[in-house]
């Protein structure tokens, strides 16, 4: 177990360097000059452009820029934005917001998704199963932004139950609406996934044994069935944490949540390499760690799986 974890952690180093390099290069290859674009429709002043270029190190060869970036990074310095702020400060403001939103979405998707899936799976083929099928298909087929705008217009503007936008991201109740929108797609997947494995495992031998032993139904479903059926769901949920955080751009835009997605969008648009690479790097780390945790969870759910 310990050796397995250590090996996985070591594997992260090349992945980490590879992704930072790739993102760094991609930002560099974006068309246009980010410094000149700071002047907008007005004409850039060559002397000042030169001075700013020098300030951000854009006058150095690319490998040198990357070297500088990486050496700074290993000293815990993520660099500066064009506005002169520390990227670490920007991320420090944005990540908590997105994490809160992702957690709300995650809770909604886990609780609702698994519940719907379990009941649909137990009643496979019945009316309830069909209802869940229709609902999940509907959610999967409606694009997130359509759902977002509908929810915002109906619950925010027309009914006035909530403020249309998130005004204070520390107030969890304000995050429920965007969280539901953000988690809706995964919710449907979780429900479908749970439903399939549950209805499959219902027919398995150990279920019959448990039933024959005369165990109470609650225990059969809650322990024997659920535990065995959750392995694929957990895999999905694990990778979904990263997706929820990185993929919140659309939802964040609709509900004016000032999280990671918005910062990333702005940074990519402006060609601000430091912020882009910084945020993506952290997101990559989130993906790597959640997949590690998921792999370790397998062992907990299924004792037959062992890591050496």
Candidates 23, 87, 104, 132; binder of another protein (CB under 8 A) is: 132
Does residue 185 contact residue 248 with C-beta atoms inside 8 Å? no
Rounded Cα gap, residues 70 and 74, in angstroms: 6
- The verdict on 158 binding another protein (CB under 8 A) reads yes
Cα angle 295, 298, 302 (rounded to 5 degrees) comes to: 160
Stretch of 17-25, 149-157, 229-237, 277-285 contacting another protein, by CB under 8 A: 149-157
- The verdict on 45 binding another protein (CB under 8 A) reads yes
- The verdict on 225 binding another protein (CB under 8 A) reads no
Stretch of 202-210, 213-221, 231-239, 248-256 contacting another protein, by CB under 8 A: 248-256
Distances (CA, A) of 72 to 65, 119, 272: 11, 53, 16
Stretch of 14-22, 70-78, 124-132, 220-228 contacting another protein, by CB under 8 A: 124-132
3-state secondary structure of 61: coil
In 3D, which of 254, 253, 238 has the Cα closest to residue 290? 238
**Cβ contacts of 245 within 8 Å, gap of 6 or more:** 98, 99, 102, 260, 283, 286
Only one residue has tokens 């279920």, namely 207
Stretch of 7-15, 28-36, 69-77, 199-207 contacting another protein, by CB under 8 A: 28-36
Per CB under 8 A, residues contacting another protein are 30-34, 36-43, 45-48, 50-52, 54-55, 82-85, 89-90, 93-94, 112, 115-116, 118-120, 128, 131-132, 134-135, 138, 149-160, 163-165, 167, 252-256, 258, 262-263, 265, 269, 271
């Amino acid at each position: 177990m310990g050796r397995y974890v250590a090996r996985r952690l070591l594997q992260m180093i090349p992945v980490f360097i590879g992704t930072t390099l790739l993102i760094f290069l991609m930002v560099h290859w974006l068309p246009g000059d980010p410094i000149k674009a700071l002047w907008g429709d007005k004409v850039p002043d060559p002397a000042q452009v030169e001075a700013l270029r020098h300030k951000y190190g854009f006058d150095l060869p690319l490998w040198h820029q990357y070297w500088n970036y990486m050496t700074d990074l290993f000293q815990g310095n993520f660099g500066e934005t064009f506005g002169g702020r520390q990227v670490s400060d920007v991320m420090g403001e944005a990540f908590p917001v997105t994490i809160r939103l992702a957690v709300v979405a995650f809770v909604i998707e886990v609780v609702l998704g698994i519940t719907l899936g379990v009941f649909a799976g137990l009643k496979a083929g019945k009316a309830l199963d069909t209802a869940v099928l229709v609902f999940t298909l509907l959610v999967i087929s409606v694009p997130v932004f359509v759902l977002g705008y509908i929810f915002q217009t109906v619950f925010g503007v027309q009914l006035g139950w909530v403020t249309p936008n998130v005004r204070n991201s520390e107030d969890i109740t304000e995050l429920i609406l965007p969280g539901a929108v953000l988690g809706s797609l995964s919710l449907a997947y979780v429900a479908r996934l749970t439903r399939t494995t549950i209805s499959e495992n219902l027919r398995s031998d150990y279920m019959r044994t448990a039933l024959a032993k005369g165990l109470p139904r609650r225990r059969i479903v809650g322990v024997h069935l659920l535990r065995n059926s959750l392995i694929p769901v957990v895999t999905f949920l694990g990778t979904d944490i990263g997706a929820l955080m990185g993929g919140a751009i659309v939802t964040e835009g609709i509900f004016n949540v000032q999280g990671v997605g918005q910062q990333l969008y702005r940074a990519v648009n402006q060609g601000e390499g430091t912020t882009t690479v910084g945020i993506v790097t952290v997101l990559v780390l989130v993906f790597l760690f959640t997949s590690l945790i998921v792999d370790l969870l397998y062992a907990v759910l299924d004792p037959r799986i062992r890591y050496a």
